[in-house]
Structure 1
Amino acid sequence: MKKLLVSLVLLLAVVSTTSAQNDKYTKAMESAIARVKYTAPTPELQQAAGQFEQIASAETAEWLSTYWASYTYILLAFKESDVARKDAMLDKAVDFYKKVAQQQPDNDETMVLAAQLAAARLSIDPENRWQQYVPEFEEAIAKAKQKNPENPRVYALQGQSLFYTPEQYGGGKAVACPVLKQAAEKFATFKPASTIHPSWGQDTNQYLLNQCGQ
Structure 2
Amino acid sequence: MLFIAGIGMSARAQFEGSKQIFESPKLNVEKPNHKLVAILPFNTKISYKKMPKNFNAEANKDQEKTMSKSIQSSMYTFLLRKASNYTVEFQDPDKTNILLKKAGVQDKLDELTKDEVAKILGVDAVLGGNFETEQSKSEAGAIASAVLFGGFGGKTGTGTLTLTLNSGASGDLLWRFFKTMNDNITTSTDDLVEHMMRKVSRNFPYSKS
TM-score of the aligned structures, taking structure 2 as reference length: 0.28
Structure with higher Rg: it is 1
TM-score of the aligned structures, taking structure 1 as reference length: 0.27
Q: Please identify which structure carries the higher strand content.
A: 2
Q: Please identify which structure carries the higher helix content.
A: 1
